[in-house]
Structure 1
Amino acid sequence: MKIHGKLNYLEMAAVDIEATKAFFSSAFDWHFTDYGADYTAFSDVGLDGGFYRAPLCSKAEQGGALLVFYSSTLEETRNDVVRAGGIILKEIYDFPGGRRFHFAEPSGNEFAVWSEPA
């Protein structure tokens, strides 16, 4: 939904667009629309956006924005991420208000997944 002054779209670099698409399709059931060989878009995942081909990635430790998914089954989602080829950067841990883990997808971009306290 387009609302003035609200976030509407997110674009991220991807070294390997095909591997990134395969990962998100497998781990989170995302669907993509390709716009040429160097750009792919996603929608209906909470925030629309896309990946563009570039030799860069976003990591929180380097000041990149950390995008955080929600999961009602944190351990199951962690297993789905690993099965799809994600690399766990921080195992499940408690934080004030819940639990979460961090992972990198095949192009190296860091994401997190959180859930309510156990």
Structure 2
Amino acid sequence: MARLEYLELPVGDRSAARRFYAEAFGWSFTDFGPDYAATMSGDTDVGLDASPDRVKAPLPVIRVEDLAVALASVEKAGGTISVPIFAFPGGRRFHFRDVDGHELAVMQPD
């Protein structure tokens, strides 16, 4: 079953964003390199992306059991693939735009 797994936020300064969310909500973050940090609660988590190629708006990430099936389903339903399948630490994912132009991602964990 597909579920909202993650919300990735584009940030200008990962350290400042990390401090803000820690102070505001008590969230703990794990660093994944110099430009990325994420909560690891096991529920719906938040990623802070300060990389040069970060998305421009918040990016909802949907977890699925079969990435290839999800990609085919998105295309069949009228979605447009904006970033083809790629690997990241912990799994693989792709990005797509829905029929209203919203960008989302779909991931399958390792």
TM-score by length of 1: 0.46
TM-score by length of 2: 0.50
